[in-house]
Amino acid sequence: MRLEILNSGYNFGTKVLFAFIRIVSGQPVPDAAKLGFYRPDFYGAIPFTHEAMRGPSAWSVGDRELMAAFVSKMNECEFCIGAHSAVASSAYQDKAKVAAVLSDLETAPIEEPLRATLRMLGKLTRNHGVDANDMQAVLTAGVSREQIEDALAVCFAFNVTNRLADAFGFFVPDPKGMEAGAKYLLSRGYR
Amino acid sequence: MATEDKKRILHKATVTRVLDGDGRASHAQRRAAYDNAVLAEPLSTLVNKVAKYAYTITDENISAARASGLSEDELFEIIICAAVGQATRQYETALLVLEAVTQKE
């Protein structure tokens, strides 16, 4: 990463943990996970992200991971597109569906409420804002207010994470590394 | 006003911590980065890129900020403030629009 403190500025116990993870998983600890261990008293967005991605919601884990991948696509964040496409594909057990959404939202084989929600999140991310018509369209598609609030929380989490990934320069693992990370995020969440 | 759920409370805590919590960068610097307000160069360019086009950030943007005398921990905090600030403006804007639209129903 571009700041040396994020590569090597961890205490002894954390360095031992990183080494242990590397031995068990056969992969280095992804930079996104490392960041969570650097001064968590300052950044500490992990509880928010875990709640948004794995807390109670009418959206499935696959839907929320797809939203994360889609927001990352809008922000052109290579690390997060790869990481969360892998988690969404695994959660849905459907790689083609995730690829179709990222390639063309309008023709992808998904339900209309999810499509309308992704459309709104995409505009919010690209244009930094939405208007009443954009929001009304999501409600008209049959999405509840609570579901919209949940989707906006996912959007917030990834609008932060995408920026940090690109500013700090997260290393983009190969597909095998992405798969290992996806397996961990599906079984353990973001804690 | 919508009931404040767990996520809204956790979001507020994140914002409060990066702006007002213990840190190496000054509170004024963190606030300016959060607001994407005017800062001296080269920090201004870096903060604006974090807020608006993070995918265009280069090694040179970071090394220029470091060369201006900022420590890595100060930069770490300033970048996080810029990211949380922009994401929060978008989040809060959308929640306000949602509230206005659902109140009319």
Q: Which residue of B has its CA nearest to A48?
A: B10
For residue A102, give how far its alpha carbon lies from the nearest alpha carbon of chain B (Å). Answer: 18
Nearest CB to A164; choose among B79, B89, B100: B79
pLDDT range class, residue A191, cuts 50, 70, 90 = confident
What is the arithmetic mean of pLDDT over A27-39? Answer: 93
**A128 contacts B54? CB cut-off 8 A:** no
pLDDT given for residue A68 in this prediction: 98
Question: How far is it, in rounded angstroms, from Cα A11 to Cα A181?
Answer: 23
Considering only the top CATH level, what class is A4-188? Answer: mainly alpha
Q: Do A166 and B57 touch (CB under 8 A)?
A: yes
- How distant, in Å, are the alpha carbons of A35, A49, A153, A162, B88 from that of B95? 28, 17, 10, 21, 10
CA torsion, ordered B64, B66, B70, B71, to nearest 10 deg: 170
**Across the interface, do A163 and B101 touch by the CB < 8 Å criterion?**
no
- ipTM over 0.90 threshold: yes
Average of pLDDT values for A69-91? 97
Contacts of A55 in chain B (CB under 8 A): 6-7
pLDDT of residue B4: 57
- At B105, the pLDDT band (50, 70, 90 cuts) reads low
The 3-class SS string of chain A reads CCCHHHHHCCCHHHHHHHHHHHHHHCCCCCHHHHHHHCCCCCCCCHHHHHHHHHCCCCCCHHHHHHHHHHHHHHCCCHHHHHHHHHHHHHHHCCHHHHHHHHHCCCCCCCCHHHHHHHHHHHHHHHHCCCCHHHHHHHHHCCCCHHHHHHHHHHHHHHHHHHHHHHHHCCCCCCHHHHHHHHHHHHHHCCC
Question: According to the model, what pLDDT value does residue A144 have?
Answer: 97
pLDDT above 90 for B10: yes
Partner residue facing B98 (CB), from A9, A145, A168: A145
Question: b/e string for A144-160 if b means 16 or more Cβ within 10 A?
Answer: ebebbbbbbbbbbbbbb
pTM of the model: 0.96
Instruction: Tell me if A163 and B51 make a contact (CB, 8 A cut-off).
Output: yes
CB contact under 8 Å between A77 and B91, yes or no, is no
From chain A, pick out residues whose CB is under 8 angstroms from the CB of B89: 128
What are the domain boundaries of chain A? 4-188
Contact: A38, B59; criterion CB under 8 Å: no
Write down the domain spans for chain B. Answer: 6-104
pLDDT in tens, B23-50: 999 999 999 999 999 899 999 999 999 9
Find all residues with CB under 8 Å of A106, minimum gap 6, and list them: A115
Q: Which residues of A touch B48 (CB under 8 A)?
A: none
pLDDT greater than 60 at residue A145:
yes
Count of A-B CB contacts under 8 Å: 144
- B46-92 pLDDT tens trace: 999 999 999 999 999 999 999 999 999 999 999 999 999 999 999 99
pLDDT band of residue A11 (cuts 50, 70, 90) is: very high
Provide the pLDDT for residue A44. 80
Contacts of A136 in chain B (CB under 8 A): 101
Percent of chain A clearing pLDDT 70 (strictly above): 100
B-chain CB neighbours of A163 within 8 Å are 50-51, 54, 79, 82-83, 86-87
Quick one: pLDDT at residue B1? 38
CA distance B44 to A1: 21
Q: What is the mean pLDDT of residues A61-90?
A: 98
Question: Which of A21, A27, A24, A19 has the alpha carbon at shortest distance from A180?
Answer: A27
Please say if the pLDDT value at position A61 is more than 60: yes
